Amino acid sequence: MENLWGGRFKKEINKEMKEFTSSIAFDQKLAVFDITGSIAHAKMLGKCHIIPDVESQKIVAALEVILKDVQKNGLSITGEAEDIHTWVENKLKEKIGDIAGKLHTARSRNDQVALDERLYLKEEVKKIKASLKDLQTSLLLIAEKNLDVIMPGYTHLQHAQPIIFSHHLLAYFYKFNRDKGRMKDLFERMDVLPLGSAALAGTSFPIDREFVAKQLGFDLISENSLDAVSDRDFILEFLSAASICMMHLSRLSEEIILWSSKEFNFIELDDSFCTGSSIMPQKKNPDAAELIRGKTGRVYGNMINLFTAMKALPLAYNHDMQEDKEPLFDSVETIKKSLFLMSQMIKTLTVNRENMSASLKGDFSTATELADYLVRKGLSFREAHKIVGEIVLYCIKNKKNLSQLNLQEFKLFHKIFEEKVTELLNPHAAANAKTSYGGTSLKRVKGSVQKAKKLLKQE
- Options 76, 156, 204, 436, the catalytic residue: 156
Q: Which of 358, 376, 404 is the last residue of a domain?
A: 358
Q: Is residue 251 part of a domain?
A: yes
DSSP letter at 161 equals E
Residue 1 pLDDT: 47
pLDDT tens, position by position, 196-219: 999 999 999 999 999 999 999 999
433 and 412 part of one domain? yes
Say whether both 194 and 279 belong to one domain: yes
Query: Of 331, 358, 385, which one is at a domain's C-terminal end?
Result: 358
6 domain residue, yes or no: no
Q: What is the pLDDT of residue 27?
A: 85
Residue pair 363/427 in contact by the 8 Å Cβ criterion? no
Q: Does 188 share its domain with 68?
A: no
Q: Which H or E run includes 292?
A: helix 287-310
Long-range contacts of 430-436 (CB under 8 A, 24+ apart): 430/161, 430/162, 430/365, 430/366, 430/369, 431/150, 431/161, 431/162, 431/163, 431/164, 433/369, 433/372, 434/161, 434/163
Q: What is the pTM of this model?
A: 0.92
User: What is the mean predicted confidence (pLDDT) over 350-364?
Assistant: 94
**273: which residues sit within 8 A by CB, 6+ positions away?**
286, 287, 288, 289, 341, 344, 345, 348
Q: For position 426, which CATH number holds?
A: 1.10.40.30
416 vs 378: CA distance, rounded Å: 9
Shared domain check, 187 and 273? yes
User: Is 222 among the residues known to form the active site?
Assistant: no
Q: What is the pLDDT of residue 243?
A: 98
Averaged over 165-178, what is the pLDDT?
A: 98
Among 108, 116, 134, CA closest to 28: 116
Kindly state whether residues 68 and 127 are assigned to the same domain: no
Residue 278, number of CB atoms within 10 A of its CB: 7
| Three-state secondary structure of 298-327 | HHHHHHHHHHHHHCCCCCCCCHHHHHHHHH
| pLDDT at site 80 | 67
Question: What angle is formed at CA 151 by the lines to CA 149 and CA 152, rounded to 5 degrees?
Answer: 165
pLDDT (mean) for 7-13: 66
Same structural domain, 135 and 175: yes
SS3 153: strand
Could you tell me if residue 10 is inside a domain?
Answer: no
Question: CA–CA separation, 407 vs 177, rounded Å?
Answer: 47
Give the percent of the chain with pLDDT over 90.
Answer: 89
Q: Is residue 44 part of a domain?
A: yes
**Position 67, amino acid:** L
Residues 50 and 138 in one domain: no
For residue 328, is it within any domain?
yes
The pLDDT of residue 18: 64
* Cβ–Cβ < 8 Å for 305, 323: yes
Q: Decide which of 380 and 17 is more confident.
A: 380
**Within this chain, do residues 211 and 307 fall inside the same structural domain, yes or no?**
yes
User: What band does 114 get if pLDDT is binned at 50, 70 and 90?
Assistant: very high
Q: Give the whole-angstrom CA distance, residue 372 versus residue 434.
A: 11
Range of the domain at 101: 15-105
The reply to whether 3 falls in a domain is no
2 in a structural domain: no
Is 4 a domain residue? no
Residue 109's region, left for phi above 0, alpha for psi from -120 to 50, else beta, is alpha
**Residue 172 sits in the same domain as residue 315:** yes
Instruction: Give the whole-angstrom CA distance, residue 30 versus residue 177.
Output: 29
Q: What is the dihedral of CA 72, 74, 79, 83, to 10 degrees?
A: 120
Residue 82's pLDDT is: 82
Mean pLDDT confidence for 373-391: 96
d(CA 21, CA 299): 24
Question: Is the separation of the CB atoms in 395 and 450 below 8 Å?
Answer: no
Q: Same domain, yes or no, for 259 and 346?
A: yes
Residue 194 has a CB neighbour count (10 Å cut-off) of 27
pLDDT of residue 21: 62
CATH of the domain at 237: 1.20.200.10
- Least Cα distance to 51 among 97, 92, 106 occurs for 106
Please say if the pLDDT value at position 402 is more than 70: yes
**Which CATH number fits the domain that encloses residue 60?**
1.10.275.10
Residues 61-93, buried b or exposed e (16+ Cβ, 10 A)? ebbeebbeebeeeeeeeeeebbbbbbbbbbbbb
Q: How many domains does the chain have?
A: 3
Taking residues 223-241, report their average pLDDT.
98
As a residue count, the chain comes to: 459
Closest CA to 65 of 47, 98, 97, 88: 88
Task: Assess whether 385 carries a catalytic annotation.
Answer: no
Same domain, 286 and 173: yes
CA-closest candidate to residue 320, choices 312, 332, 331: 312
Query: Which is the catalytic residue, given 49, 261, 277, 380?
Result: 277
At 115-166, the pLDDT tens digits run 999 999 999 999 999 999 999 999 999 999 999 999 999 999 999 999 999 9
The amino acid sitting at 312 is A
Please check the confidence at residue 19 and state whether its pLDDT lies above 90. Answer: no
Query: Using CA atoms, how far apart are residues 241 and 219, in angstroms rounded to an integer?
Result: 22
Same domain, residue pair 72 and 175: no
The pLDDT assigned to 24 comes to 76
Over residues 289-345, the pLDDT tens digits come to 999 999 999 999 999 999 999 999 999 999 999 999 999 999 999 999 999 999 999
Q: What mean pLDDT comes out for the span 237-266? A: 97
- 8 Å CB contact between 82 and 21: yes
